[in-house]
Amino acid sequence: MTETTGEGLEANGVDKKAPEKSIFQEIKEVAAKARGKSKESMKGLWLKADEKLEPVNKKAGEISEKTKTESVKDYFRKHTESFKDGIRARSYDIYGGLYDIGAVVSQAKVMFWRNFKDGLFATYLGENQRNVKARKKKAKDYYAKAKEKAKENRGKRDKSRENAKEVREKKTVAV
Amino acid sequence: MTINCMNKEELKKYLEGMELEEGLRKVLFEIVDKAEAVDQALMNNIADILDLQADFYDKSADLLDEEAEIYKTLAEDLNALPESPIK
């Protein structure tokens, strides 16, 4: 499709002022940049999660062998996989929405050039605005939740460390 | 050989009083049941598992902080989107 300025439309009796085409481009570019950056960051985080949590599973495997109890290995495997699944699910959720922003803008653009007079254009723009707002809100909500969960997990870490110390220091009596 | 002042049932009761996740408590009980005696080796194994749980929470907290930063950046990037394509 060939893009034109709004002048032609006005000349054809369309009395609305045409949006500047650069705005469409700007939205698409910003959305694509945010999407690309998020994708890279998320991929990096998934890899880091694998790297950071694998030693936990390795150690759990060693304890399982020592205690002849498969459930140690199974428990930590389940725990770490569920944590990683959570990260992936949240990032797919956010990422999918970023595609919507780009797609809706493309639709709005098509509607504008093909059918400027009817209400579809405004509908698409409204939908895009809602999408952007929803993604921003979700990103902020996920930020707050992740920070809160990190704090909670540090509390659990300290408690667990304390329990381990107490158990380790329990005296046994030699006979 | 060493023995603890506690027998297996007492040790389980002691673990019951600890703030633990239910799944982990089950794992620890299984280890106690399978152990030959309540000795230092058993206590060390339990402590190792609790330390490992602490390691998991430590690493997961770091990952969650990193995840939070990604969302923060994304929210900032989305703020750069024009409010409306119509000026």
pLDDT tens by residue, B51-62: 999 999 999 999
- What pLDDT, on a 0 to 100 scale, did the predictor assign at position A129? 74
A53, A60, A136 ranked by CB distance to B75: nearest = A136
The SS3 of residue A172 is: strand
- Residue-wise pLDDT tens digits, A44-73: 999 999 999 999 999 999 999 999 999 999
Q: What is the mean pLDDT of residues B74-86?
A: 70
Residue of chain B nearest A133, judged by CA positions = B78
Interchain CB distance below 8 Å, B87 and A19? yes
For the stretch A85-113, what's the b/e string if a residue is b when 16 or more beta carbons lie within 10 angstroms of its beta carbon?
ebbeebbeebbebbebbbebbebbbebbb
In three-state form (DSSP H/G/I as H, E/B as E, the rest C), the secondary structure along chain B is CEEECCCHHHHHHHHHCCCCCHHHHHHHHHHHHHCCCCCHHHHHHHHHHHHHHHHHHHHHHHHHHHHHHHHHHHHHHHHCCCCCCCC
The letter for the amino acid at A115 is N
Domain ranges within chain B, ordered by starting residue: 8-79
Which pLDDT score, from 0 to 100, does residue A136 have? Answer: 84
User: What distance in Å separates the CA atoms of residue A141 and residue A114, rounded to the nearest whole number?
Assistant: 38
Residue B47: closest CA among B11, B22, B23, B13? B11
Q: Compare CB distances from A108 to B18, B78, B85 and report the shortest one's residue.
A: B85
**Predicted local confidence at residue A171, as pLDDT:** 65
Q: With a cut of 70, say whether residue B30 has pLDDT above it.
A: yes
CB contact under 8 A, B64 and A165: no
Please state the φ and ψ torsions of residue A172, each to the nearest 5 degrees. Answer: -105, 155
Distances in whole angstroms, Cα of residue A175 to Cα of each of A48, B5, B72? 48, 11, 60
| Cβ partners under 8 Å of residue A128, min gap 6 | A27, A101, A104, A105, A108, B85
pTM attached to this predicted model: 0.79
Rounded to whole angstroms, the Cα distance separating A167 from A1 reads 72
Reduce the DSSP state of residue A92 to 3 states and report it.
helix
Task: Report CB contact under 8 Å: A164, B48.
Answer: yes
Q: What is the pLDDT of residue B75?
A: 86
Rounded to a whole number of angstroms, the distance from the CA of B6 to the nearest CA of chain A is 9
Note whether ipTM > 0.90 here.
no
Average pLDDT of chain A to the nearest whole number: 78
Which of helix, strand or coil describes residue A115?
coil
Q: What is the pLDDT along chain A (175 residues), one digit of tens a residue?
A: 333 444 444 444 444 555 555 566 776 777 778 788 888 898 899 999 999 999 999 999 999 999 999 999 999 999 999 999 999 998 888 877 776 666 666 666 665 555 555 555 566 667 777 777 888 888 899 999 999 999 999 999 999 999 999 999 886 654 4
Tens digit of pLDDT for each residue in B3-12?
457 889 999 9
CB contacts under 8 A, A 67-106 vs B, are 67-69, 71-72, 75-76, 78-80, 83, 87, 90-91, 94, 101, 105
CA A128, CA A57: separation in Å to the nearest integer? 44
Residue in this structure with the two tokens 């500047």, named with its chain if needed: A20
Query: Residue B79's pLDDT is what?
Result: 79
- DSSP 8-state secondary structure symbol assigned to residue A12: T
